[in-house]
Amino acid sequence: MSAESWKIVLPCTRLEAEALASATDPFPTMDEPPVLNTLEPDETRPEEWLLEAYSEGQPTAETIAAVQALVPSAARIKPVVEKVEAQDWVTLSQAGLEPIRAGRFYVHTSAHADDIPEDATVFHIEAGRAFGTGHHYTTTGCLMMLDRLKRQGARHAMIADVGTGTGLLAFAAMSLWPRAHALATDIDPVSIEVTEENADANPIDRSRLALAVAEGVDHDLYRQLAPFDLVIANILAQPLIELAPSIAATLDAGGTLILAGLLNTQADAVAGAYRREGMRLADTIRNGDWSILMMRKRRRVR
């Protein structure tokens, strides 16, 4: 960013902070949206978080209002708006992230490249421009569900990762089923750029990985490669509900679907939307306030 970097600060709840961590595009109408960071300033008050929004140049009233709209709990609170030293705030906000261990998976940044467990499947996902480093409950929960599937003896040959973020979940699935082909897509072009960079930084067979910018599953590659026997969709509850018919249609009979980005209180509504598309709930992982659902598409009875 330039020397004219500004910060908007508002209090928020823990649930609001976690929802923002899963949001793929909180400012869909902005050409140059603020960079968001959430933090827990006092561990003795786990429900009281802060939202920081960094912008290049002094934020307009419209930008401030858009940031404030993200945290309804602060609707009547005047935000703090101040000039700050210019930095790459997305990378800075994630630079201190500790490695995570989820089942057999170990995800780290370059800051922790010297202490890697020998028994782990390892991914180097640098802090950067896209969501999905493994540090949010939803991403970690998806890794746990993939690990569980493999331990149960599941086999998959055609995989789709809808809303891939950094590519991590697609990479994890490909490591479990190395002969499988995978399609990873995201509505955000930056995410696809980041996924390409991360694929180069990890032992990923690029000949088995296709990438595309797509809204949901609306892309020719989905139509060409379907049906899939494993689909991962780590998005948000409402988009998952809206996409239920199209996502379910990409699955083969008997195929497996992992759904994430939904709070525990939203799990029944999301599962219900997919049951109406001929799917059944096969497993659930609850990770903090977030649910990861594993569903299976019913086989047609002849």
pLDDT digits over 91-135, tens only?
544 544 568 888 899 888 776 667 788 889 999 887 654 444 444
Name all domains of the chain by residue range, CATH numbers in brackets.
Answer: 5-90 (3.30.70), 136-297 (3.40.50.150)
Give me the pLDDT at residue 301, please.
55
Give me the pLDDT at residue 280, please.
97
Residue 39 has pLDDT above 80, yes or no: no
Rounded to two decimals, what is the model's pTM? 0.73
Kindly report which listed range (101-115, 177-191, 216-230, 232-246) carries the lowest average pLDDT score.
Answer: 101-115
Residue 181 CA to residue 49 CA, distance in Å, equals: 41
Give me the pLDDT at residue 46, please.
78
Kindly report which listed range (12-26, 128-142, 173-187, 257-271) carries the lowest average pLDDT score.
Answer: 128-142
* Average pLDDT in the chain: 87
- List residues forming the annotated binding site: 139, 163, 186, 234
- List residues forming the annotated binding site for S-adenosyl-L-methionine: 139, 163, 186, 234
263-270 average pLDDT score: 92
- Per-residue HEC secondary structure of the chain comes to CCCCEEEEEEEEEHHHHHHHHHCCCCCCCCCCCCEEEEECCCCCCCCEEEEEEEEECCCCHHHHHHHHHCCHHHCCCCCEEEEECCCCHHHHHHCCCCCEEECCEEEECHHHCCCCCCCCEEEECCCCCCCCCCCCHHHHHHHHHHHHHHHCCCCCCEEEEECCCCCHHHHHHHHHCCCCEEEEEECCHHHHHHHHHHHHHCCCCHHHEEEEECECCECHHHHHHCCEEEEEEECCHHHHHHCHHHHHHHEEEEEEEEEEEEEHHHHHHHHHHHHCCCEEEEEEEEECCEEEEEEEECCCCC
Give me the pLDDT at residue 1, please.
38
pLDDT tens, position by position, 275-296: 999 999 999 999 877 899 999 9
pLDDT tens, position by position, 49-77: 989 888 878 899 999 999 999 999 999 99
